[in-house]
Amino acid sequence: MRRQLLALTLLIVLLGSAGCVRLRTDLELDAKGGGTARISLSADPQVLAARAELDRLGGEALGPPLPAFDDITRPYLQKRAAGRGVALVTLTKGNEGGRSTLDCLLKFTDLKGVSWMLNDLAAA
């Protein structure tokens, strides 16, 4: 019970951290329904640490654990995209103004595959 209360408290802190995570997605579609998607993410390191702690404390009660920001690498994204008609073109991660950043460009053949991939990245 104590773990659940602590997990709920961390969840409230995360949800109250509006503006601490910024996610931008730009899509360019071609006539065949394929195209490119650029995903840019910027997050306060405290939010990333709180999310990791929430997974640790909450167990499966809060859903499946999400990958840590550091786990989102080229091989990770390539594996997630495999078989979905999505290819990772570029991936850049860094730190800007004290915030963890991620920028990636995906090329896709249809909206179904890129939609799945965007949802997967947004959740992570």
Chain centre distance of CA 13: 19
**So what's the pLDDT on residue 124?**
64
Q: Has this prediction a pTM greater than 0.75?
A: no
4-18, 20-34, 65-79: the lowest-pLDDT one = 4-18
Burial of 107 (0-12, 13-18, 19+ CB in 10 A): middle
Angle at 123 between CA 113 and CA 69, to 5 degrees: 110
pLDDT digit string (tens) for 29-73?
A: 899 989 999 999 888 877 777 766 766 776 555 556 667 778 889
Residue 72 tokens read as 């989102």
Residue 98: Cβ within 10 Å count: 8
